[in-house]
Amino acid sequence: MNRIYNFSAGPAMLPLPVLEKARSELLDYNGLGMSVMEISHRSKAFDEVADRSEASLRRLLSIPDDYAVLFLAGGATTQFAQVPVNLADPDRPGAYIVHGSWGKKALVTAERMGLARLAASSEDSGFREIPAQSSWNIPENAAYLHYTSNETISGLQFAEPPVTSLPLVSDMSSDILSRPIDVEKHGVIYAGAQKNIGQAGITVVIVRKDLMRDLPSTVPDLSSWKIEEKQGSRLNTPPTFAWYIAGLVFDWIESQGGVAGLARVNRQKAALLYDFIDNSDFYINDIPARFRSVMNVPFLIHDESLHTDFVAKAEAAGLSGLKGHRSVGGMRASIYNAMPLEGVQALLEFMSDFEQSSG
């Protein structure tokens, strides 16, 4: 077996013990003589998968009882629409802080429905900063404040959740479970799975129960968090295997000392990479240190003609997925929970060798 280091922004690498466990149970889950993929989402066996994964996630993030935990299909992009549908009205729009492409997409989706206002944006700076809270212009009638905890493309992360009296809604797709968070500061947290939760196809939505409301009958039931909660996230057939994989990932996180244990390693990995880049005259990352993401580290080479060669040689050296997002170019190392410290060390060694061979 030849496993490589996968620095892709998502779908991202999964912990090896998770893949091994899934493989060992693939043909015969729990003595049932079939795989999780083949069992009914309404069976007792799947109830156990669902209950166990929810209980683990509640432990990992210390989610209080007055919050519902939903496992839904459709990715974080679906939640860009479901957040305003469930929380806003035309006379009570959501307010959005935009410091990257994902926050902008969330805003535009809600705006098209007539349910959003822009409170602050750093687009003018090319998304190189998080707008200072003193500059935010939040409408008085806002129903909630939305922010993207970590902007995956430009590599900017909120160090702390914003302080507000409004229900705070966060897209945590690319940093959930990477560090301890205070769920109680939030009204809603949502995250697609394919970075730190597991396999693409399932989305975790954590909602304070008092924010869930009945929606007009013109809104499809599948869009209603309240109906999904009543149905145990199984109004229709959910992505069962992705849900099962999420449970295995949660078990793995617990075995790593929980979110606090992973946060220590994550900080170490990011510090190694940023220190190396900052001490180099060859590579650059021009995001101010206080905004830098611990999960996604974009970087350029001063001589941009070397980017293609860098990515190709890295791939050949077993360091995959380093090509930057098409909107920003260059390179990006996504170093989510499953990326071991050794993977970052291997990348630094490669970066150093590449610099020397190009000099």
Ligand X SMILES: Cc1ncc(COP(=O)(O)O)c(C=O)c1O
Which residues of this chain interact with ligand X, rule CB under 6 A? 10, 75-77, 102, 148, 152, 171, 173-174, 192
Q: Which is nearer to ligand X, 103 or 350 (CB)?
A: 103
DSSP string, 275-316: HHHHT-SSEE--S-GGGB-SSEEEEEESSGGGHHHHHHHHHH
The residue (of 39 and 116) whose beta carbon lies closer to ligand X is: 116
Residue 209 a catalytic site member: no
What ranges make up the beta strands (E) of 124-192? 144-148, 150-151, 156-157, 168-171, 188-192
Report the nearest approach of ligand X to the CB of residue 354 (Å): 27
Record the tokens describing residue 111, joined without a space: 């705006």
| Closest CB 141 distance from ligand X, rounded Å | 26
The yes-or-no answer on residue 175 being catalytic is: no
Comparing CA positions, the residue from 25, 344, 22 lying closest to residue 198 is 22
Residue nearest to ligand X (CB): 75
Tell me how many degrees the CA angle 55-58-62 measures, rounded to the nearest 5.
145
Nearer to ligand X, 5 or 102 (CB): 102
- Residue closer to ligand X by CB (options 13, 39) is 13
Catalytic one of 104, 175, 195, 225? 195
Verify whether residue 171 is a known catalytic residue: yes
- Give 35 or 77: the residue with its C-beta nearer to ligand X: 77
**Which of 255, 252, 266, 336 lies closest to 19 in space, CA to CA?**
252
Report phi then psi at 63, rounded to 5.
Answer: -80, 120
DSSP H helices, the chain, are 16-24, 44-61, 75-87, 101-112, 225-230, 240-255, 258-278, 307-316, 341-358
Q: How many CA atoms lie within 13 A of 90 on its CB side?
A: 3
Supply the minimum distance, in Å, between the C-beta of residue 82 and ligand X.
12
Of these residues, 104, 171, 252, 323, which one is catalytic?
171
Q: Which amino acid is at 342?
A: E
Q: Nearest distance from residue 150's CB to ligand X, in Å?
A: 6
Q: Among 145, 143, 144, 151, which Cα is nearest to 122's?
A: 151
Closest approach of Cβ 66 to ligand X, in Å? 26
**Which amino acids are annotated catalytic?**
102, 171, 195
